């Protein structure tokens, strides 16, 4: 199972459309659960298994 934890609810329509599109694509291959939390401190309560963190302010890595 793949769990995606979102901090806050996306407000922009294009972000919601993107999330729904990729959820539909991923859902064909794996169980998917989207979880919304109110603040970053709540993420830890929802972690099960391996954690990957994506941050728009993180370091850009190349291949």
Domain presence at residue 62: no
Domain presence at residue 22: yes
Average pLDDT over residues 45-54: 80
Domain presence at residue 17: yes
Domain count, the chain: 1
Give the sign of the dihedral formed by CA 63, CA 48, CA 22, CA 42. negative
17: confidence class by pLDDT, cuts 50, 70, 90: very high
Domain presence at residue 55: no
Domain presence at residue 39: yes
Domain presence at residue 59: no
Domain presence at residue 38: yes
d(CA 62, CA 58): 13
pTM: 0.65
d(CA 63, CA 54): 16
Range of the domain at 13: 2-46
Q: Which two tokens stand for residue 6?
A: 């979102």
């Amino acid at each position: 199972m793949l769990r995606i934890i979102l901090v806050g609810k996306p407000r922009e329509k294009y972000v919601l459309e993107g999330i729904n599109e990729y959820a539909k694509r991923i859902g064909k291959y794996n169980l998917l659960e989207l979880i919304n939390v109110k603040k970053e401190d709540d993420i830890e309560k929802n972690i099960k298994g391996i954690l990957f963190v994506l941050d728009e302010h993180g370091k850009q890595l190349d291949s």
